[in-house]
Structure 1
Amino acid sequence: MADSRIDELKEIVKVHLKKAKKENDPIEVARAYYYRILNEKPHVALVYSDSMIQITENSVHPNYPTLGYILKANIFYDQGKFQLALDNFLKAHDLALEKNNIEDQREISLAIAAIRNINGQHYAAADLYNRSLNLLKQKSSSTEGFYDDYATLFYNLSLTYLRLSQLDTSKYYVQKGIELRD
């Protein structure tokens, strides 16, 4: 049953891709590649990520080619190739800054912070998590509608400060996370 749904999705993506190429619409081609990337093995998904980047290289769209770099970075991250993941996240972050895409900046900063933590760069990770928290606060003064975002940040900040042996600061973020439930 699941295989037939995957096959159906692949067929829909083929039609989408064919139509987008026929209409010479690079953003729609990139969107079709996105779905291919999600359903392919990593080595094939990397090729589609590169294609997404290439076809949207000069796009003024706020999400492209940034998304291609993010997807590529995620693939490398999942493979444990953290330096390659970091390189691609940094390219994506530069593009998000250039395009003033605050949401992408925040999401990419979280990924970079995770890699910094893995590499033992806890101060750098804490700084990035705090920047992400500030970006989130700029987006909304209320946690309503952003529960998962705040919960993730408070959790990551508490762990990072715990790694830095800053127990009071770690406890502060644990408490902030607990207060989210109320």
Structure 2
Amino acid sequence: MNTIGVVLAGGLSRRYGSPKAFAKRDGKFYYEIANEALLKVSDEVVLVARPEFLGQFNQGMNVIVDVKEFRGCGPLAGVYSVMSNFQADRYVIVPCDMPYINSDVIDSLVAAYEDEDVLAVEVKGVQHPIVAIYNHRMRDSIHQALENGQYSVMKLLEAVDVRWVEGNELTSSAHEVFQNMNTPQEH
């Protein structure tokens, strides 16, 4: 099954105060950690970034911006932009602001995938809709949502075949692994 890894690194990082993609944990940029987590399960990894940061990522990385039509419209626009430019059977998606994510967790997520529209992670009732696997069938649904001005990932997932996998089934440290870093003090 052809798989594209997607690192979402285009957020505004308002609460963080600086671009989260360039924050570091153990000497590695957050975007590098996300990229490494996806490498083993992906035929190719694509990072979606804001236009002003394009030249700041490691040379040789596949970095794109949102398609012009939906530029700056949030995570759905990033997922759609990758789906529009890179054909695959499935897209394994992680945000760049989970610096404890790793390839073992992503391997477990891929092993749990059963060809549903979306397989996403939840930890003790907290849903993480962009730590997920999106089937290629989702492209048209995402396009339709964006075209209608509906940018909420959760609202989209209410209308499709989504299965939530408990993070504790993927890793014994789910609380830490699936924590979004919203301020520099959190890590």
Interval containing the TM-score (normalised by the shorter chain): under 0.3
Which gives a bigger RCO, structure 1 or 2 (Cα 8 Å, sep 6+)? Answer: 2
Q: TM-score, normalised by structure 1?
A: 0.26
Higher helix share: 1
| Structure whose alpha-carbon radius of gyration is higher | 1
Q: Please state which structure has a larger fraction of its residues in strand.
A: 2
TM norm structure 2 = 0.26
